[in-house]
Amino acid sequence: MRIISYNVNGIRAAIKKGFIDWLKTDPADVICIQETKAEESNVDFSPILDLGYTGYWFAAQKKGYSGVAVFSKIKPDKVLYGNHDQVSNDEGRIIQLFFGDIRLINAYFPSGTSGDERQQFKYRWLDEFFNYLKKEKKKTPKIILCGDYNIAHKEIDIHDPKGNKKSTGFLPEERAWMDKLFANDWIDTFREFHPEHHRYSWWSQRFPTVRLNNKGWRIDYINVTKPLKDKIMDAEIFPEVKHSDHCPVYLKINI
């Protein structure tokens, strides 16, 4: 199974920038999208269906905000919309697909960029989501967790760690959450293949030269639980794909 995780920063905007043409190149079997900023009824995604994908959408209650979707060429056995957290569900942050004994979770983690109130919400969300994952992992040990985590884990994952040590997305508490995740039998699939520096998946749009000069952050991940470690075949980041301020991240896994 080839999986893409991609924050498109508005799927309608991405389509105008050539998103569907990119899908025609067959980049993956399963495309996990975050920040759709749209409901299923708002988008003419028939060209995506024509490519052999089936779409599964989970939109936010607030129009033009957040939202996740999955386009899959492989039919899931079950689809679960959201989780136990009603506030998170209202913001359309999680969708889950089951393929045999594999559970694929597509998640759009909250950002703390709009102020302290949302930062505190982010901390609460992270704590609740970690506990949810811990509980669900006992039911389905083989989990793939992809999405925009809105956290750069280590200094290698950000172009200016010193200058951003007080920036949301690189705060000690957020990075500690990632430490805790990987200490609890989760695998950073990208780092299994790529120990090198300067590999990023998001670049600020406030400064036009940031992406050109590759001054980015790696905040998008496809991580797996330990029982799947021996099944991962390849992982990559595709910075040349430009429909968003993020770029796609990729995993190939033998299921």
Reference 67, options 42, 84, 44; nearest CA is 42
Reference 233, options 215, 251, 246, 250; nearest CA is 251
Instruction: Quote the CA–CA distance of 14 and 16 in Å, as a whole number.
Output: 5
- CA dist 223 to 181, 210, 246, Å? 10, 27, 17
Which tokens sit at 136?
A: 């669900």
Residue 3 contacts residue 29 (beta carbons within 8 Å): yes
Sole residue written with tokens 């496809």: 222
Residue 81 contacts residue 97 (beta carbons within 8 Å): no
Which residues belong to the active site? 148
Q: At 34, is the secondary structure helix, strand, or coil?
A: strand
